[in-house]
Amino acid sequence: MKRAVILSGLLLTAVPAWAADPLTGMWRTQAGRDGGYGHVRIAPCGDRLCGRLERSFDAAGREVPGDAGALILDGVAATGDGGYGQGRIVNPENRRGYAARLVLRGDLLEVAGCVMTICRTAGTWQRVD
């Protein structure tokens, strides 16, 4: 019995680091050119993080049919000091993928996509939950 308790304790402390990652949760994207925005859920995928579009909204805040389930972030990992990278970000307007560069600042997430050393901001996302 004592061994089972010790083993259970060890297993509970061996939870992967991403399980409590502060980046996980729902994020509201910055409005696009047409004023529309989306809600992206960031969650573990393997040993990294991925983000999928859950809902899309028009400029007036009305939900619109969209690409629910579309992969927006893929294979993102912490790089230290609130930074995340090593993965890809997909622009939903043209479906092109870029090297992801993210910086978490509390409930705000600065999002950028990069090609080689040139990065372009995708705006600041706000935590929804």
pTM value surpassing 0.75: yes
Q: Quick one: pLDDT at residue 71?
A: 94
Pairing of strands 71-80, 88-90: antiparallel
- Is the distance from CB of 49 to CB of 87 less than 8 angstroms? yes
Alpha-carbon gap, residue 24 to 42, rounded angstroms: 5
Considering the domain 20-127, what is its CATH architecture? Beta Barrel (2.40)
What does the mean pLDDT of the chain come to? 84
Q: Quick one: pLDDT at residue 20?
A: 62
Asked if pLDDT for residue 109 goes beyond 90, the answer is yes
Asked if pLDDT for residue 19 goes beyond 70, the answer is no
Domain locations in the chain as residue ranges: 20-127
pLDDT tens across 43-98, in order?
999 999 999 999 999 999 999 987 788 999 999 999 998 999 989 999 877 888 99
Q: Quick one: pLDDT at residue 45?
A: 94
Residue 100, SS3 per DSSP: strand
